[in-house]
């Protein structure tokens, strides 16, 4: 069951929600089902050792919040 990001076409709120099977999500603010699914940034960290032994860290996606890997978090309102 994936988590998708949506934008409400009625009130412009961006939010994330867990989508189960064929359930149609609704906006948590205005309850509209007129939504657009947004492209989500993939959040992962890749660590590797360089040729001289140094560790390099690469991160996909950027976060506005230092406590999570999401770029749009409905739980903290960022």
Is 26 buried (19+), middle (13-18) or exposed (0-12) by CB count in 10 A? middle
Strand order in the sheet with 14-18: 14-18, 3-8, 35-37
Retrieve residue 31's tokens. 């309850």
Nearest in space to 5 (alpha carbons), one of 75, 77, 73, 76: 73
Question: Domain segments of the chain: what residues?
Answer: 3-60
pLDDT for 55 equals: 64
pLDDT for 72 equals: 54
pLDDT in tens for each of the 78 residues of the chain?
Answer: 688 999 999 999 999 998 888 888 999 999 999 999 998 766 666 677 666 666 665 555 544 455 555 555 555 544
pLDDT for 64 equals: 46
């Amino acid at each position: 069951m994936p988590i998708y990001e949506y934008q409400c076409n009625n009130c412009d709120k961006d939010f994330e929600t867990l989508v189960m099977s064929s359930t149609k999500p609704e906006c948590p603010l205005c309850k509209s089902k007129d939504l657009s699914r947004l492209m989500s940034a993939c959040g992962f960290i890749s660590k590797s050792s360089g040729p001289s032994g140094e560790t390099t860290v690469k991160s996909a996606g950027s976060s506005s919040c230092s406590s999570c890997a999401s770029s749009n978090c409905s739980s903290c309102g960022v």
